[in-house]
């Protein structure tokens, strides 16, 4: 275990320091979970949601001082009671299946005496498949239906990383679906070469 942590620290330090003569390459698997806070028009229809994602990332600091990543997730948002009272809805919910492709950059450590803590910035392009469930009050004489589709968007995020564990806050933009996500992420090395 100590050897793995040492390898991860060396990989990370090589990635952060662009002028370093050491080469570092690696592939990592990450799991993340956390709340989703709807914003704008989206927040008028839904309440606080939750989500999780699975991510694969790769770095090779000989070519780029960043991590490239791809992720897939699942997010669910229940409808707002205020929205029901002011409309014909008896039930409304949104499910999102977001796909992200992006890059992550680790800045120099804030703290490295006891625990290595690094600021992290990331940006990604994304595509989300959505499903909105529309259920109406019987008095409205409207038929219930499920709306499916997809939207393109982007996300930007910042956080703090101990590399194996990371806390990240991100802003996600899709037309009519903007939200903030707060994730706690666990990273597992699949392949590391220094």
**39 - beta bridge partners?**
178
Contacts made by residues 37-42, CB under 8 angstroms, sequence distance 24+? 37/179, 37/180, 37/181, 37/182, 38/77, 38/177, 38/178, 38/179, 39/178, 39/179, 39/180, 40/178, 41/176, 41/178, 42/77, 42/176, 42/177, 42/178, 42/179
Query: What range does the domain containing 182 cover?
Result: 2-75+98-130+153-193
Tell me how many domains the chain contains.
1
Return the pLDDT at 22.
56
Q: Note whether residue 17 is domain-resident.
A: yes
Instruction: Evaluate whether 44 touches 53 at the Cβ level (below 8 Å).
Output: no
Return the pLDDT at 165.
94
Instruction: Evaluate whether 130 touches 153 at the Cβ level (below 8 Å).
Output: no
Rounded Cα–Cα distance for residues 187 and 57 (Å)? 10
pLDDT tens for 14-45 read 444 433 445 678 899 999 999 999 999 999 99
Q: Note whether residue 34 is domain-resident.
A: yes
Lowest mean pLDDT among 8-12, 88-92, 141-145, 162-166: 8-12
Domain at 23, CATH number: 2.40.160.20
- Is the model more confident about 130 or about 7? 130
Instruction: Evaluate whether 106 touches 78 at the Cβ level (below 8 Å).
Output: no
Q: Which pTM does this prediction carry?
A: 0.82
pLDDT tens for 148-187 read 999 999 999 999 998 889 999 999 999 989 999 999 999 9
Q: Note whether residue 83 is domain-resident.
A: no
Q: Note whether residue 157 is domain-resident.
A: yes
Mean pLDDT score across all residues of the chain: 86
pLDDT tier at 99 (50, 70, 90 boundaries)?
very high
Instruction: Evaluate whether 9 touches 24 at the Cβ level (below 8 Å).
Output: no
Q: Note whether residue 141 is domain-resident.
A: no
């Amino acid at each position: 275990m100590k050897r793995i942590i040492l390898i991860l620290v060396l990989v990370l330090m090589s990635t952060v320091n662009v002028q370093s003569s050491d080469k570092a390459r690696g592939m990592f698997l990450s799991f993340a979970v956390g709340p989703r806070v709807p914003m704008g028009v989206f927040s008028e229809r839904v309440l606080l949601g939750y989500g999780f994602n699975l991510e694969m990332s790769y770095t090779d600091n000989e070519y780029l001082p960043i991590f490239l990543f791809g992720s897939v997730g699942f997010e669910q948002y229940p409808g707002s009671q205020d929205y029901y009272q002011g409309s014909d809805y008896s039930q409304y919910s949104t499910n999102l299946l977001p796909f992200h492709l992006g890059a992550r950059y680790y800045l120099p450590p804030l703290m490295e005496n006891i625990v290595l803590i690094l600021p992290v910035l990331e940006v990604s392009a994304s595509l989300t498949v959505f499903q909105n469930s529309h259920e109406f009050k019987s008095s409205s004489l409207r038929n219930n239906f499920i709306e499916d589709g997809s939207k393109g968007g982007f996300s930007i995020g910042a956080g703090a990383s101990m590399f194996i564990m990371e806390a990240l806050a991100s802003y996600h933009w899709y037309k009519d679906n903007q939200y903030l996500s707060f994730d706690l992420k666990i990273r597992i090395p699949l392949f590391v070469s220094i």
